[in-house]
Chain A
Amino acid sequence: MAISDPKAAAASAEVPARRRLRLARSHDERVFAGLAGGIGTTLGIGPIWVRAAFVTLTAAGGTGLVLYLLGWAATLGATTTEVAAPAEPRRKLGLGLMLAGVMLALRATGIWFGDAVSASVVLVAFGTAAVWDRSGPALATAGRPASMPTRARIAVGLFLMVGGVVAFFGSVDALADITPVVVAVAATAGGTLLVFGPWLWRMTDDLTMERRERIRTQERAEISAHLHDSVLQTLALIQRSDDPRRMVTLARGQERELRTWLYGRADGREPDGLRSALESVAARTEQLHDVPVEIVVVGDVPTTDAIRAVVQAAAEAAGNAARHSGASKVSIFAEVGPDGVDVFVTDQGKGFVVADVAEDRRGVRESIVARMVRHAGEATVTSSPGEGTEVHLHLPREPR
Chain B
Amino acid sequence: MTGIFLVDDHELFLTGVKTELGPHFDVLGSAGDVDAAIDSIRSLRPDVVLVDVHMPGGGGLAILANVAETNPEVRFLALSVSDSPEDVIAMIRAGARGYVTKSISPAELVDAVKRVAAGDAVFSPRLAGFVLDAFGRSVPVPQDPELDLLTPREQEVLRQIARGYAYKQVARRLSISVKTVETHVSSVLRKLQLSSRHELARWATDRRIV
CB distance from B201 to the nearest CB of A (A): 15
Question: By the criterion CB–CB under 8 Å, are A252 and B103 in contact?
Answer: yes
> Which residues of B36-83 are within 8 A (CB) of A?
83
Stretch at the interface among A144-152, A205-213, A333-341, A371-379: A333-341
Pairs A-B, 9 closest by C-beta atoms: A331-B164, A296-B129, A333-B163, A296-B162, A298-B132, A333-B162, A298-B133, A344-B163, A296-B125
The verdict on A263 contacting B132 (CB below 8 Å), with A268-B207, A333-B159, A346-B165 known, is no
The 8 Å CB contact of B125, one of A255, A259, A294, A338, is A294
Q: Are A333 and B164 in contact (CB under 8 A)?
A: yes
With a CB–CB cut-off of 8 A, which chain A residues contact B198?
none
Q: Encode A306-344 as 1/0 by CB contact (under 8 A) with B.
A: 000000000000000000000001010101011000001
CB neighbours (8 Å) of B159 from chain A are 333, 335
Residues of A within 8 A of B164 (CB): 294, 329, 331, 333, 346, 348
- Complex A-B: 12 CB contacts under 8 Å: A259-B83, A268-B206, A296-B125, A296-B126, A296-B128, A296-B129, A298-B136, A329-B164, A331-B125, A333-B163, A333-B164, A338-B137
Determine which residue in A255, A259, A333 has the highest number of CB atoms from chain B within 10 A of its CB, and name it: A333
* Minimum Cβ distance to chain A for residue B196 (Å): 22
Contacts of B129 in A (CB 8 A): 296-298, 333
| Interface flag for A267 (CB, 8 Å) | yes
Q: State the interface size on chain B (CB cutoff 8 A).
A: 20
Q: Beyond A268-B207, A346-B163, is A333–B137 a contact (Cβ under 8 Å)?
A: no
A255 to B208, CA, bound (A): 22
Nearest CB in chain A: distance from B54 CB, A: 12
Q: Which residues of B contact A297 (CB under 8 A)?
A: 129
B2 contacts A by Cβ under 8 Å = no
Judge whether A266 is part of the interface by a CB distance below 8 angstroms: yes
A-facing residues in B142-196 (Cβ within 8 Å): 159, 162-165, 169
The answer, yes or no, to whether B84 is at the interface (CB within 8 Å) is yes
Is A337 touching B137 in the complex (CB atoms < 8 A)?
Answer: yes
The number of inter-chain residue pairs (CB within 8 angstroms) is: 51
Task: Select which of A255, A266, A299 is within 8 A of B137 by beta carbon.
Answer: A299
Alpha-carbon distance A194/B126, docked complex (angstroms): 62
Beta-carbon contacts of B113-139 to A below 8 Å, as 1s and 0s? 000000000000110110011001100
A249-295 interface (Cβ within 8 A of B): 252, 255, 259, 263, 266-268, 294
Residues of A contacting B103 in the complex (Cβ-Cβ under 8 angstroms): 252, 255
Q: Does A29 contact B (CB under 8 A)?
A: no
Q: Which residue of A lies closest to B101 (CB)?
A: A255
| Complex contacts, B169 vs chain A, CB 8 Å | 348
Minimum CB–CB distance from A59 to chain B (whole Å) comes to 53
Given the known A-B contacts A252-B103, A268-B206, A331-B125, are A299 and B133 also in contact in the complex, defined by CB atoms under 8 Å? yes
Closest to A327 in B: B164
* B162 neighbours in A (Cβ, 8 Å): 296, 298, 333, 335
Q: How far is the CB of A396 from chain B (nearest CB, A)?
A: 16
Chain A: residues with Cβ within 8 Å of the partner, total of: 22
Q: Looking across the interface, which residue of chain A has its beta carbon closest to that of B105?
A: A328
Measured CB to CB, the nearest residue on chain B to A347 is: B164
| Complexed CA–CA distance, A337 and B169 (Å) | 24
A133 within 8 A of B: no
Q: Say whether, besides A267-B207, A299-B137, A390 and B84 are in contact (CB < 8 Å).
A: no
CA distance A379 to B210 in the complex (A): 40
Interchain CA distance A333-B164 in the complex, whole Å: 8
A268 surroundings in chain B (CB, below 8 A): 206-208
Bound CA–CA A341/B169 (angstroms): 24
Q: Are B133 and A263 in contact (CB under 8 A)?
A: no
B82 to chain A, nearest CB (A): 8
Tell me the complex Cα distance, A255–B83, Å.
Answer: 11
Distance in angstroms between the alpha carbons of A100 and B202 in the assembled complex: 48
CA distance A296 to B123 in the complex (A): 13
- Report the nearest B residue to A292, measured CB to CB: B103
Closest chain A CB from B186 CB (angstroms): 20
CB neighbours (8 Å) of B128 from chain A are: 296
When distances are taken between beta carbons in the complex, the residues of chain A under 8 Å from B133 are 298-299
Query: Across the interface, which residues of B come within 8 angstroms of A263, CB to CB?
Result: 84
Contact with A along B77-110 (1 / 0, CB 8 A): 0000001100000000000000000010000000
Please give, as numbers and ranges, the residues of chain A lying within 8 Å of B165 by CB-CB distance: 346
Residues of A with C-beta under 8 A to B125: 294, 296, 331, 333
Q: How far is the CA of A211 from the CA of B125 in the complex (A)?
A: 44
Nearest B residue to A266 via CB reads B208
CA distance A294 to B125 in the complex (A): 8
Q: Whose C-beta in chain A lies nearest to the C-beta of B83? A: A259
Nearest chain A CB to B122's CB is how many angstroms away?
15
Q: How far is the CA of A346 from the CA of B169 in the complex (A)?
A: 12
Chain B residues positioned under 8 Å from A298 (CB to CB):
129, 132-133, 136, 162
B128: min CB distance to chain A, Å: 7
Instruction: Determine the distance from Cα of A329 to Cα of B103 in the docked complex, in whole angstroms.
Output: 13
- Nearest-Cβ distance from residue A324 to partner chain B, whole angstroms: 17
Which residues of A lie under 8 Å from residue B136 when comparing CB positions? Answer: 298-299, 335, 337
Enumerate chain B residues within 8 angstroms of A346, measured Cβ to Cβ.
163-165
